[in-house]
Structure 1
């Protein structure tokens, strides 16, 4: 029965891929992807998209981890609620509204897009860092302190490894959100794959729309898979569930 289910699944997948290929050929998407004049332009948009995501995520990860860790230290715990509320203000607004607000202050261009993406990505990382570290059992920390470990060693060798799964979940969410939101940065002159998406919408051209949407989707899927592989490196084996 299981073998039949696998066979049916493969046949349906093959049929779906065949139908998608026929559709792509009919709307001219295959010709667009193989056009020697369009390929360099498409690759340039992909590089710009990856640059926007990479830089903004590096900044959001650095600040988010720092804020999350700082708020778990005893002198700053009382301020956790207020700080997290301030950090989360960016995600209470629609992404297009965040871009518009940043544009009104910083103008148009890459720097505005980077700052808006940073604001939009920091909350999941900071929140999950805070939640992950505070969920580490107190007896475990007391045991480490009883062994003579310093606060820095406890953070690096006890708290962060035990909180890493929760932290990576926040990073994963922020990364996927960032990749999708980066497509909107075309609207403020930052380029990226949104160029093709919005041009396709404006020109009623499905091939241009899909030429931007498909690479964006593929980047998000690869990033999600990359986070899963990163978890295998950073999460101690004994703390994984199901080999995550």
Structure 2
């Protein structure tokens, strides 16, 4: 029993030490720009291992040198209540949960119809696709995950993401959170940050992006590598138009 209590004590101390380490790193980000994120490093390693070459484009630019059009577009597309919430948008999470539940229900119904068709030897039945899972993560949550965590989806990792999100909100301003996010988020294969994205797609600095260019970049964020290979996507164009229409009502930090 004593050995078990000692082990639990060590685990608690280790967990506390880890949180203090994270808090120290976040506090340092008030004045020091992070050179890379955990996600960037894992992607760079993956690309280098796959292709044998180091493909990594990133150039940090201060908040003032990122166009307001891109800031507004990203907030409109990714996290409309960014300046209002404390890191977690409960309403967005509830909507995402509802959408995922409905998608799962549709998938189960399709699977039942497929099984019934097989029993009746009905030809031409295609395999049922898994439901598309949508998230309700805020910009702060995405930053917490990208900066420090792996891509695995476990309850423990999600709990750590929440703690890191609250730390970011408590220790950094909204402006600084958005600045770090825009300088580290992925915008294509080996393309990280607003400046690299603007140069890669439009051959211009991030400070000179038009509203429509910024909106297209914002729409790419959930699936940047996918849209990088599909520049003429109809969805990309139509969704960008929707984001442009929303940008006027976005409040910047």
After TM superposition, the score normalised by the length of structure 2 is 0.26
Please tell me whether Structure 1 or Structure 2 has the larger radius of gyration of its CA atoms: 1
Asked which structure has the greater RCO (Cα within 8 Å, sep 6+), the reply is: 2
After TM superposition, the score normalised by the length of structure 1 is 0.27
